[in-house]
Amino acid sequence: MGMLALLNHAVNFAAPAFWLALLLPWLDRFLPGKRNSSFSRRAQFGLIFMAGLVVLALGLALLGQDGKMLTYLALVATAATGQWLMRKG
């Protein structure tokens, strides 16, 4: 596998975590209730993205294949829980 193909695989592997981490802090402003988060949007993005990458890597290691729906379900649950905790539950 060439370097360009490896880069393509890495970007496509991380894309679901990236987009979820990008959209969740932005969509937070539309949720009802007070927004008393002590985290900036950049910090929220970074934490959710890193947690998402860990979940995707664990899904790949445990299930032996990338792209399983169980992995994506765990990714969404982890990202939503992280956003909820950063919003101070």
Q: Is 2 a domain residue?
A: no
Query: What would the two tokens of residue 45 be?
Result: 């993005």
Taking residue 45's Cβ as centre, other Cβ atoms within 10 Å add up to: 19
Q: Is 10 a domain residue?
A: no
The identity of residue 46, as a single letter, is G
The total domain count for the chain is 1
Q: For each of the chain's 89 residues, which pLDDT tens digit applies?
A: 899 999 999 999 999 999 999 999 888 878 777 666 678 889 999 999 999 999 999 999 999 988 889 999 999 999 999 998 888 75
CB 56 within 8 A of CB 13: yes
| Model pLDDT, residue 38 | 78
Q: Is 78 a domain residue?
A: yes
Give the structural domain span for 80: 39-89
Q: Is 4 a domain residue?
A: no
Q: Is 25 a domain residue?
A: no
